[in-house]
Each structure stands twice: as structure tokens, then as C-alpha cells.
Structure 1
């Protein structure tokens, strides 16, 4: 429980920094760039190179596949709920995104690391790789299918290749496959990455705090509740079943379940703005699911 209190305090620090004009909401772009391009790749490289061996790869590579599959199923459930509620196209697309995409990186890393340490974080990194694929593929498809602004020059492949955490993960896995370990690199290089890696979690939490807007919750609280049920109720159940089918147990299963239960990803908001989906619905769901997750995730971890 202590880790959730720490996470709440770090997020609150970011939010209060915005409230008291110490930082602006636009500053989150700078923080995100530092995290995505510098700090998070350092964390991913060090964690994989230190904790993964070639014999671990077949089991670990099941994790991104199952996260991807779970997010696709959750998106389909969101589609069915939206059709039942007779939402217009833009709102239906927004609901699909907030049901499908989970915040496995920006909230998943700190939460999993707090609960399970470095071993858990290693598995969270693999889960997040599946989440990145799901975010870009589902986000682009839903944006084109349901959005107003369908003429985007963004290429899914190009976006994947431009996302440093994913590419760092792929490179690190390749190095492990060929038998390299952390000892294969100079000590000064590893120490430099350690310093950069230490900034990952605090900066993620500050950025998340800057991103949250309580006022957005009033625009569609019901959709935030629906997204919370799908993301933190149905998704873990799906993963529980899939874990049994794919013979995943122990820490792998626990991390996979928790990562599947993360709140709606902030990337949903990016896609909503880019393609002209219902931004208010998505912003409301992102805020509500994030707040709900801070209460649900410790309970879920206790059950596990």
C-alpha cells in the first residue's frame, strides 16, 4: 500500500505544480520527451540486459502478445457497449479507445516496480511492448474509421520505428538473444545509463500529474465508469483465462494481470485530437479511470 501512497503524492506534486503555476500543462511535453527519448530507454536497456537471459525469451515474449490480444478484445467490448448506447461515430470511437488502451508504461512501470521490484519491472517492459503495438495499430484504425479528420499522414510503421522505448526493447532483446549481457559494456556507459534511468519514475509521475484535469470528468462521467469496468474488471478476467491457456503462472501472471488493468492510456487523447474523435469523452474517461485505478490496483494486487 505504501507504494500507492508514494505514487499518489508524486502525481499530486505534478498537479499542484500546475495549480500554483510552478509548471504549465504544456510543460508535460518537455517532461514526456525526456522520459520517452532518454530516461525510459535507459531503464529498458538496463533492466532487460541485467535480468533477461536467452532461455527466458520464449516465456517473456508471450507477455506482449497476450497484452495485445487483451486490448483488442477490450476494444471490441467497448464497440459493443457503444453500439448498445447508440453513440455517434466520434463518441463510439473515443469509447473504443479508452476501453482498449491501457497506461502500461507511464503508470504501469511505477506501480509494477513498487509492487514487485526489478523482476516485476522486467516483465512490465515486455507487456508495454505489446501495448505500444496495440496503441498505434488500434488508435490509427479507430481514428480513420470513426474520426472526422481522416486524412493523416502518419504511418503506423514509421511511428513504431520512431518510438525509442519500443526500439530499445527490440535492440536489447536481440542483444540478449545473441548472448550479450550487461557485463559486455563499459562500466562508465552503464553508470551513465543508471543516472538517466533514475529519473524515469519521478518524471513520469510529474508528467501524469500535469496531464490530469478534474474539470474534464464532468463531460462524461458515465463513460469513465464504463471504461473503468472494462479496463479494471473485464481485462484482468480475460488475462486470467489467457494465462491458463498459455501456461503462464507466478510473477509473470501477476504482472500481466496488473498491466492489463491499468487505466485508459493518455495516448487515447492524442489519437482523439489527431483524428477528431470525442475529446471530452476521452479526457473524462482518462481522468476517472486513473483516479479509480489508484484504489483498485492495490486491491487487485492483494488478491493476487
Structure 2
């Protein structure tokens, strides 16, 4: 069994439970998205920023790459949406990648501990972009400052400051925060499965287009950045792989909050995750 298969099996299994639940019970999972947004995500961000070692030497390069990928894919998607009258829901699954849950194990196996530390730095910025620019996309200009009203933003700052100043949080407090944060992915997967169970998918063209934008266009933009700025090869490979990862599950969490094209978002995330079984191994082979 390949690494990617082992990573994706829990995704399929847990989201499958959500799918079955949706078929048996039509209750809306709004409370789940609220719990994720206001409880588990802040806990996850606090722990991530508090515990992770980040290489500040490579941060500018990593930041430049992810900004180029996110805004590059967004602009291309924006143009395609205007030309072909695509639904607004295509933005979130096309633009944002699953940098931690799928990215970390792949990079660790392919590029070792040093690669993982670089992947963590990438995820650092991806998380901030999802819950700032992603919220801006989903909510519209009227709620552009919404991200700064959510607790995750302040939890991230608190975790980062405690990390930088080496202030230790007592285990009695840290443990329940870790437990709360660790439920984020599970809840997001259950919600993904639920939405797939209730989705009315008229065509697979939009999910496939979204997958192409997310993985193929995303990795191509990263390749251009690596080539143009002559980024050191071992770092460049990590940046390319991270930029090619399938759609972020958190896109659905944001979509749930703002009720934006949930059928499009959930189907696009599911299709992109499945197609990554083919594309990511090919890209790893190409980068050897």
C-alpha cells in the first residue's frame, strides 16, 4: 500500500461515515461548523504556533511562493469564472491546499525532517491565508475584516508570542487545548462526508476544473517561482509539492459559515483529493 493510499484511507473512511449519516439523518451540521470555527480551530492554531519550530531564515522565500500560488490561482480562477459564469464556490477548493493533513506525511517521507520543517513553515502561511483571504472570498467585501473578529487570529498570535519568548504553558492547560485542536480534521471530514451525502451534483466538470487549478496550475506557478528566483533545489522541491496538494478541508468549514455553494465546494474537495492519488506520485517522480 502506497504512502498516499495510507494517508487517504482515513479521509475516505471518516468522510464516508459522514456520508452515511447524511443519508440516514437530514439534520443540518451547522453546529459542527460553529464548533470548528470558534473552538477547535483556535486551539489548533495556538498549539501549532506554540510548539512548531519555524525556520525564519527561509520564511521570506516560502511566503513569496505561497503568495504567488494563492493569488496566481485566484486570478486565473477569477478570469475563468467571469468568462464561463462559474459559481463563486469554485474559489475555495481551487485556491487553498491541504498543507498539513496530507502535505506533512508526504514531505516527511520524500524529503526527511528538514523537508518537514519547511513544510511546517509553508503551512504557517497557508493557515493564515485560508482564514483571512479565504474568509474575504467567501464573505465578500462587506466582511473583509471578519477574520480579525474570529478567535483563531488571536490564538495564533498568543501561541507565536509564547513560542518566541520561550514561555512555557503548564501541561494541565496545554493538554486539553491539544485535545480540542486534534478534533478539527475529524470534524471537518465528517462535515465533508455529510455535504457529499446531501449534495446535488449536476456535473463533474467544475470539480475537475477546480482540481486542475489547485494541483496542476498551483504546482506550475511554484515551479516558475523556484526557477525565476533560483531557489535552492531541496527547498524548491518542498515548495512545489506543497503547492500541488489537493483542496483544503477547511474551505468547506468557511463555506458552511457563509453558505456559499456548498455542493460545489464539497464535490470539488472530494474529487481533488481522489485525483491527488495520481498526480502527487507523478510530481514526486518528476522532481527526482
Q: TM bucket by the smaller chain?
A: 0.7 to 0.9
**CA separation in 2, counterparts of 1:199 and 1:260?**
25
Unaligned runs of at least 5 residues, structure 2: 109-115
2:31 paired residue number: 30
- Map 1:1-304 to 2 at 5 A: 1-2=2-3, 4-20=5-21, 24=25, 26=27, 28-52=29-53, 56-57=55-56, 59-60=58-59, 62-64=61-63, 66-83=65-82, 86-88=83-85, 91=86, 93-95=88-90, 97=91, 100-102=94-96, 104=97, 107-116=98-107, 119=117, 120-121=119-120, 123-141=122-140, 154-157=142-145, 159-176=146-163, 179-181=164-166, 184-213=168-197, 216-217=200-201, 219-244=202-227, 245=229, 247=231, 250=234, 254=238, 257-263=241-247, 265-266=251-252, 269-270=255-256, 273-274=259-260, 284-301=267-284, 303-304=286-287
**CA separation in 2, counterparts of 1:271 and 1:195?**
23
Pairwise CA distance, 1:243: 3.8
RMSD of aligned Cα (Å): 3.7
- Closer, same or farther: CA 195–267 of 1 in aligned 2, 3 Å: closer
1:147 paired residue number: none
TM-score (norm 1): 0.70
Pairwise CA distance, 1:301: 4.7
**CA separation in 1, counterparts of 2:20 and 2:207?**
23
- Closer, same or farther: CA 46–29 of 1 in aligned 2, 3 Å: same
**CA separation in 1, counterparts of 2:232 and 2:264?**
35
**CA separation in 2, counterparts of 1:30 and 1:232?**
31
Find the residue that maps to 2:72 and give its secondary structure.
Answer: helix
CA contact (8 A) 1:8 1:294 kept: no
Find the residue that maps to 1:212 and give its secondary structure.
Answer: helix
Q: Which moved more, 1:280-289 or 1:41-50?
A: 280-289
- Closer, same or farther: CA 260–68 of 1 in aligned 2, 3 Å: farther
Unaligned runs of at least 5 residues, structure 1: 145-153
**Which whole-Å deviations, capped at 9, do the CAs of 1:7-61 have from their partners, x for residues lacking one?**
33343333334425697465643333333333333333233222336xx335336
- Closer, same or farther: CA 42–241 of 1 in aligned 2, 3 Å: same
Pairwise CA distance, 1:242: 2.1
Pairwise CA distance, 1:233: 0.4
